């Protein structure tokens, strides 16, 4: 998918909601456990019930790898289902990959060619040649960790060099010099709203993928106050808060209710910012 | 596997060689392509020919994921073959994983429980809670990136804070405060021998996994000069230099020759350091 289509989709749905498919078999309604592929049955129901409210889905690869071959098959079924039935949806493999150049090339093939995701999350520690292979694909995006929402995010990411520049700022600035840096997006946690202003000074135009609203306690309003740009520029992710809204047979309808709550908040924010369709 | 058994294995083989199984279908001998699982057939032949010279094998997950489900099956076959036939071998899933706590727990399950590797490589950018779930397993190890061998390794890892401490040093020091930090090892590239002295000041006892000897140009002797400790403390990886020694039917024998060259160099170094069996 290209950037323009993503923006059009956001405008037409008045939503910049991404739904995280971090699916744990122990947390899905028990009546699904008799299905041949319970996690896929769960994902399919959630997607069918929420696709008009969300513009992106983000399966987290760890939750699939934990089930071995079966899990990888479920991941494949899920991305295929999305691509076949909802081609307008932006898909994110939340995989946090990154390795030396020849190896990152193989990861890029895995997620962009074999599975055909629109984007994949990547980790910056190994620098330029660990990310550039992901940027070599037209109409695909690498979403690089900048400032993450978790406790340990403060261990290294905010360390300042002698001139007062924090590591996450250096990561952002340096990445702008890489080949095809317009194919980058960045992960910035919703639990760090005080940083969005500094981040937008460095990357005013890029999309930011923002986890941490909901279960992790981040505020949508605060994030938008500094994070929105004229193309909206935000993908707000919620996982557990939406997909585990109910453990009963009504789980899909309940997840749609939760998604709609967020989408309505987003519509109000977009309208207030003059960004409505 | 526990640390003591790994050390015993090193002593008994006079080797601290790790062989990287970064297997690209386009680079294996063409006669294998008619096999049902060509990459597994290749791995099996390499392992059978070299297991008496090496103490560890390190499949790189990217090369398996690039082939989708088939690739994951090959990875599973490879680790099962190692565990069933050579239980004395230390196994490393070179996966460079790392995510928020609940997600890293799933990666740890994937590699330690489902696949039953002895260790997995992890990336430090997301800090404590992204690594600690990997340290919760007895007789398993997380091997964390510290200073990597690739060009981009210098983009962020050597940035110094106001006091002159480089990021990789902070990563090492901080990690020593995490729960079960004795279950950590660290990745330090062989192309950076000048840094080993500084690294050994911070982590004198931990094992270091050292890629970059061979194709990437690192020197075994220089690495050992500052990297060896009284338990040897080094796992030196070579991938392409060994596994692609020949593209003919004699590929396994040729890979054993290359492995033996390195093992003999290692035996001389161990003897010189008074660490021989």
pLDDT tens digits, chain B, 277 residues: what are they? 999 999 999 999 999 999 999 999 999 999 999 999 999 999 999 999 999 999 999 999 999 999 999 999 999 999 999 999 999 999 999 999 999 999 999 999 999 999 999 999 999 999 999 999 999 999 999 999 999 989 999 999 999 999 999 999 999 999 999 999 999 999 999 888 889 999 999 999 999 999 988 767 788 999 999 999 999 999 999 999 999 999 999 999 999 999 999 999 999 999 999 998 7
Q: Which structural domains are found in chain B, ordered by start? A: 3-272 (3.20.20.70)
* pLDDT for the residue B11: 96
Give chain A positions within 8 Å (CB) of B157: 125, 127
Cα B162–B166–B172 angle (5° rounding)?
125
Q: Pull the structure tokens for residue A260.
A: 């709609």
* pLDDT for the residue B191: 83
Cβ pairs bridging A and B (under 8 Å): 183
Given the structure tokens 């400790």, which residue do they identify? B229
pLDDT band at A16 (very low <50, low <70, confident <90, very high): very high
Closest CA to B42 of B56, B21, B72: B21
**pTM, whole model, 2 decimals?**
0.97
User: How many residues does the structure list for chain A?
Assistant: 277
DSSP code, position A60: B
> CA dist A121 to A44, A94, B140, Å?
22, 5, 27
Which residues fall within 8 angstroms of residue A84, CB to CB, at 6 or more apart? none
B205 touches chain A (CB under 8 A): no
Given the structure tokens 């060009």, which residue do they identify? B151
| Spatial separation of the C-alpha atoms in residues A93 and A62, rounded to whole Å | 10
pLDDT higher than threshold 80 for residue A176: yes
pLDDT higher than threshold 80 for residue A214: no
pLDDT higher than threshold 80 for residue A277: no
Cβ under 8 Å to B: A residues 230-249: none
Concerning whether B96 is annotated as a catalytic residue, the answer is: yes
Helix (H, G, I), strand (E, B) or coil at A106: helix
The catalytically annotated residue of B5, B44, B96, B221 is B96
Which among B68, B127, B154 has the least Cβ separation from residue A114?
B68
Residue of A nearest to B150 (CA): A100
| Spatial separation of the C-alpha atoms in residues A215 and A230, rounded to whole Å | 28
Q: Model ipTM?
A: 0.96
* pLDDT for the residue B147: 97
| Contact (Cβ atoms closer than 8 angstroms) between residue A64 and residue A71 | yes
Burial class for A272, CB neighbours closer than 10 Å (0-12, 13-18, 19+): exposed
Give chain B positions within 8 Å (CB) of A160: 161-162
Cβ under 8 Å to B: A residues 139-178: 145, 148-157, 159-162, 167, 170-171, 174
Given the structure tokens 């003897």, which residue do they identify? B271
* pLDDT for the residue A261: 96
* pLDDT for the residue A83: 98
A26 touches chain B (CB under 8 A): no
Q: Where are the alpha helices (DSSP H) in chain A?
A: 3-13, 38-50, 61-65, 68-85, 101-108, 128-131, 153-156, 167-175, 196-202, 220-227, 240-243, 251-272
Q: How close is the nearest chain A Cα to the Cα of B277, in Å?
A: 35
The catalytically annotated residue of A5, A25, A73, A96 is A96
């Amino acid at each position: 998918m290209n950037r323009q289509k993503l923006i059009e989709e956001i405008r037409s749905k008045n939503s910049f909601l991404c739904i995280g498919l971090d699916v744990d078999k122990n947390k899905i309604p028990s009546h699904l456990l008799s299905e041949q592929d319970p996690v896929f049955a769960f994902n399919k129901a959630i997607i069918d019930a929420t696709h008009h409210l969300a513009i992106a889905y983000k399966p987290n690869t760890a939750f699939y790898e934990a089930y071995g071959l079966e899990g990888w098959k479920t991941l494949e079924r899920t991305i295929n289902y999305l691509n076949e039935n909802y081609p307008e949806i932006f898909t994110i493999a939340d995989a946090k990959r990154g390795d030396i150049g020849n190896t990152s090339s193989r990861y890029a093939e895995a997620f962009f060619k074999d599975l055909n995701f629109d984007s994949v999350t990547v980790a910056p520690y190994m620098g330029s040649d660990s990310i550039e292979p992901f940027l070599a694909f037209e109409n695909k995006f690498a979403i690089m960790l900048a400032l993450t929402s978790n406790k340990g995010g403060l261990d290294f990411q905010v360390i300042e060099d002698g001139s007062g520049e924090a590591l996450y700022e250096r990561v952002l600035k340096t990445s702008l010099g890489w080949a095809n840096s317009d194919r980058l997006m960045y992960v910035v946690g919703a639990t760090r709203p005080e940083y969005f202003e500094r981040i937008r000074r460095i990357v005013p135009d890029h999309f930011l993928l923002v986890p941490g609203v909901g279960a992790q306690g981040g505020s949508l309003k605060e994030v938008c106050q500094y994070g929105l740009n004229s193309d909206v520029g935000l993908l707000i992710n919620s996982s557990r808060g939406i997909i585990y809204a109910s453990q009963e047979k009504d789980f899909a309808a309940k997840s749609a209710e939760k998604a709609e709550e967020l989408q309505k908040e987003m519509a109000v924010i977009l309208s207030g910012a003059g960004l409505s369709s």
